[in-house]
Amino acid sequence: MDGADLALSALKRIFNEKFFRRTGIAACSSVFLLFVLGGLVRVTGSGMGCPDWPKCFGLLAPPTCSCELPANYQQIFLKQRVAKLNRFANTLEALGMSDKARVLRNDKKLLEPEEFNAFKAWTEYINRLFGVLAGLFSLAFTLLAFRRIKEKPGVALFAALGFVMLLFNAWLGSIVVATNLLPGIVTIHFLFSFLCIFFFLTALNRNSPFGLLNDDVKIRGHWMVLCLMVLFEVILGTLAREQVEVLKAGGGLTTKMGDFNVEGMGFMFVLHRYFPLILIVYALRLVRRKNVRYAFQNIGLILIVVLSVMQMLLGAANIFWVLPGVTQVLHIVLGAFLPIWVFYFVLAKPGEHSVVNTTAH
């Protein structure tokens, strides 16, 4: 092989690596975008904007007026929904979750026909379109990863796991629609989205290590603890959001004075409000430790503190103004970004991009 062939081969390798990395970033970014759109869907109450899945009112695109639908469209889609609910209830019973299945079957609200609302239908539909886009990016990333299966089997494995998580989450999305945000299912739906991104990031890191931190075992352990703490806080937040739906359904979201019903939210909500303080103290202590050697790592820790403080302020605004739409969406978006940011540092290893903090010696 002459010099020209070697140069051409090197250029192809560089192009393939860049294309693979960009496809992976596009897959992660598109899945993260679903957090934003999902937050908009929840805030606007558009989760049932399309009563069926994957179509919307039986169409590839939702109509703009109920006049475009059959006269008995509510009964048509209610029948389909009841059939899906029964199938899902049978699945829950097979998994030993008889209580959940019984709650599902006895929920009279799930037997109410869904009225067409153009705004809610299109909000949910746009969310689904971006879900398809995320699926295409994720499929492309997984196929490209399998081209590396001989030389880097770990890359293909984690990319495939991420794609499986995405498919499973798409199925969960249909269940969320059918059950009208059944408590517990929404939390699982949220967590599997994180798993999808975590697996994709791991695949990218296996292919080309991020290279930002030192190899101090203790420090890497601290980042893992931070990741678990952030995920715990996210779970608490999702459970609190589900309790909001319960209070709304019972008409007890606000007190007689019109204030947010904090007492009705329960202990989990109290823990969700104050647990970030522990997270902040833990992160600040790591910034001050002498064996935190890299400037970028300190920036990462400080950002965790800043985002946690912002989350607490947004949470306070949600309580004071009783869940305004803007603060709800921001709260969800920042809450989704935090675990991904921390997990990035969990994966990071020594590399050329590390910046040594000489004052730490």
- Whole-number Å distance between alpha carbons of 235 and 2: 58
Q: Please, is 12 exposed, middle or buried when counting C-beta atoms within 10 Å of its C-beta (0-12, 13-18, 19+)? A: exposed
Q: Which amino acid is at 170?
A: A
Predicted pLDDT of residue 180: 62
Residue indicated by tokens 């589900």: 242
Predicted pLDDT of residue 361: 35
Which tokens sit at 250?
């019972």
Predicted pLDDT of residue 125: 92
Query: What Cα–Cα distance (Å) separates residue 65 from each residue in 46, 69, 113, 122?
Result: 16, 8, 17, 11
Please write down the HEC assignment for all residues of 98-111.
Answer: HHHHHHHHHCHHHH
| pLDDT tens, per residue, the chain with 361 residues | 565 555 555 555 655 888 999 999 999 999 999 888 888 887 888 877 888 877 888 888 999 998 888 888 888 888 888 888 888 888 878 878 788 788 778 877 777 777 899 999 999 999 989 999 999 999 999 999 999 898 899 999 999 999 999 999 888 877 776 666 566 677 788 888 899 999 999 999 999 888 766 556 677 789 999 999 999 999 999 889 888 888 887 889 999 888 999 999 999 999 999 999 999 999 999 887 655 556 778 888 999 999 999 999 999 999 999 999 899 999 999 999 999 999 999 988 654 444 333 333 3
Residue indicated by tokens 């498919």: 167
Q: Please, is 72 exposed, middle or buried when counting C-beta atoms within 10 Å of its C-beta (0-12, 13-18, 19+)? A: exposed
Predicted pLDDT of residue 354: 41
- Whole-number Å distance between alpha carbons of 344 and 227: 10
Torsion of CA 83, 55, 50, 169, to 10 degrees: 80
75 contacts 113 by C-beta, under 8 angstroms: yes
175 contacts 131 by C-beta, under 8 angstroms: no
Name 352's bridge partners: none
Predicted pLDDT of residue 1: 53
Give the number of C-alpha atoms closer than 13 A to the C-alpha of residue 155, restricted to the C-beta side.
22
